[in-house]
Structure formats: C-alpha cells, structure tokens
Amino acid sequence: MSAAPCTFHLIQGAFTFAEDEGFPLESGGQLRPVTIRYAQYGEPNAARDNVVLVCHALSGSAKVDDWWPELFVEGGLLDLEKYCVIGTNILGSCYGSTGPNSINAETGEPYGADFPLVTISDIVRAQAKLLDHLGIDKLKLAIGGSIGGMQALHWAMDFPDRVEHAIAIGTAPLGALGLALNHIQRQVIRLDPSWNNASYANDDSLSEGLSIARQIAMLSYKSAELFDHRYGRKLNRNGEDPWKHHAARFDVGGYLDHQGEKFVQRFDANSYLSITRTMDTFDPVRKYGSAEVAYSRIKAKITLVGISSDWLFPPEDVRRFAAEIGAYGAHCDYHEIISSHGHDAFLAEPEKLLQVLGHGREIDS
C-alpha cells in the first residue's frame, strides 16, 4: 500500500494538568505538572461516538501520519470522513509530553535520571484526562502495535465503559528474552561516558550508547529470514572488505550503524531508558492480582494480531495471551500476519494488517 498524500483537518496541541495536586503514579511517585502532546485528525461527529485513539510504539509521536501514514490512505484502515483520529505522545517520551527532559517542579531542574517509573496504566490515565478535556467520553476504537497495543488493552481493562474495541498488534507481556534485550540496551546507554548519569547537555546527546541500543533493538524488530534475504554475507555497499582489515563491515553492519546514526539525531537517551522500563512492566495480572480480575473487567471487543516471524513478541505468546483473555469472558479474537518483516511488519507491510482486519470491517463488527 503506498502512502499517498491524504488531506485532513489536523489540530495539534498540548494539554497540561495536575499543576497543583500532582499526578500520582503506580510506582508511588508523582509528576507535577503533566503535559500531554496530541494530534487530532478530523472532527468528532454530533454524537461524539466516532473517535479512534491510535497509540504509538516506543519511538513514535502524537503525529500518527508521520509514522503510520498508511492508516489514512484511500482504502486504509481509518477513513477520516468517518472517524476522528487522536494520537497522543506518551509520558516519558521526548516529543512534547512530560518526560525526563521536563522540569521537575520540586527542583526547578530537568528530571533526568530522577524521572519516575511510569507504567502503561499511568499513560492511559493521562490519555483519559486529555479525552475528558476534549469532551470525548467513549472511544470507538483504541489501536496500537507493540507498546501501543499495551495501551489499547489497558484502555479496555482500566476504563471498560469508555472503549468499544481494542486492537493490539504484536503485543503480550514481554518474555525473558525481551526483558533481557531491553536490559542490555539500557546498560549500553548507561555505560556511555557522555550519558553522565542522565546529566548530559542537549548538544552532547548524540550518544554512541543510544546508537548501539537502537542497533540491538533493530535486530529484535526484524527476522533472520529478512536479514538473510536483504544482506546475507554481502560486503558493505561502500566497498569495505572484511577479509582485509578489522574495521571493515559486512552490509548488515553498515545497515545497523546507519540506523543507529539516524536514531540519535531524533531521540533522547533518557526517554529510551524510561520507555523500555515502561514496556517491561506491562503485566495486567500483577496489576489486578489475577487474570480473572484483570480480564473479566473487559467489556470491549478485543482483537490481538500476532506476526509469524516476530521473535520479540512471538505469535505463540500473543495467541496464548488471546486465549487467556478470552477464558474470562471477554470477546477476544486472534489473527496472524504472515510476514518475514518480524515485529515491524505492522509498519513495514500495513496492507497485510488491513487484510487480516477485513479492510476495516473488523472495526465496525
């Protein structure tokens, strides 16, 4: 599906709350004040029952058309003549919402390493405050991939009367391998001397540690099949020869270095630390005490989508997660994208997501 230009009415804004009373967090800390950056595409209808919340993955932003434009193309999932779409930037990020670079009201300085642990439920409660501000009582749909899917599912559990349908793609509680990969990524950021215990200046934030962390993440977002097909044992495209000197790279090494270099120009290391910890703590059973309590709260229709080659959130884990949710009375369907693109398939091959969701019919069913 080509990301053809789409015309839409876009409103961008920021909503700030909890200036005085603070916003309590599940971890026991609080944020004061809280700002949520948002983007709104189209307008709510008269009944205000056509609103879709699109929740971004780790490094996304409120501007859904920047990172998932295929949702809006002709024949895409979300027809802006029919739906009003809202994107928010999550707590902990560096794209306009409260995060590690925000000013701590208690100290007058950026939070840095003191930014408290934020959970998916904290993010969803902040989104609910924004929707209250916008006069939106109920969502037609909450949808997202990866950590975005975690948000969509928590909407169904935490606010069961406020969402009709939740779609989560490549989403389940992280297994030990996923937790390990996130741990290693945080370690390489902290070991970078320029990180300086989260106190680096903005002009020093082009961190080698963040670049390596992103390269590790890129491995988990793709599949061995895709890497073999694209890169195999090809020499790096700039002509380096790994058989002639130590520093020479194979093509896959050049690709990963390029991805790391691009990432440090647009993302913040402290936000990366914060959001990967948020992803680690997604565990509805722990939050509610049991699977029965967590999933019996759900009134929305739930759709989980696995990806055949995803080894960060393996399809068997997503399928098992769907069965567990459904075992306690929730209406939960499972679909699977067959793709070699790994975890990134929902972004790399959105037409396949569209196919498994019945070209949008799944939303209205």
Annotated active-site positions, please? 146, 310, 343
Count the neighbouring beta carbons within 10 Å of the beta carbon of residue 103: 12
3-state secondary structure of 199: coil
| Span between the terminal Cα atoms of the chain, in Å | 23
Q: Are 333 and 327 contacting, i.e. CB atoms less than 8 angstroms apart?
A: no
Distance CA 92, CA 104 (A): 13
Count CA atoms within 13 Å of residue 127 on its CB side: 31
Distance CA 273, CA 133 (A): 29
Distance CA 146, CA 152 (A): 10
Distance CA 325, CA 302 (A): 9
Q: Which of 113, 99, 15 is nearest to 59 (CA)?
A: 99
What is the DSSP annotation of 274-319? HHHHHHHT--HHHHHSSHHHHHHT--SEEEEEEETT-SSS-HHHHH
DSSP secondary structure code for residue 90 in this structure: P
Place of tokens 């879709």: 52
Place of tokens 């567990």: 324
Distance CA 275, CA 41 (A): 25
Distance CA 314, CA 344 (A): 12
Distances (CA, A) of 166 to 51, 193, 298, 346, 364: 12, 42, 10, 16, 12
The sign of the torsion formed by the CA atoms of 205, 207, 213, 215 equals positive
Distance CA 126, CA 23 (A): 9
Distance CA 6, CA 81 (A): 11
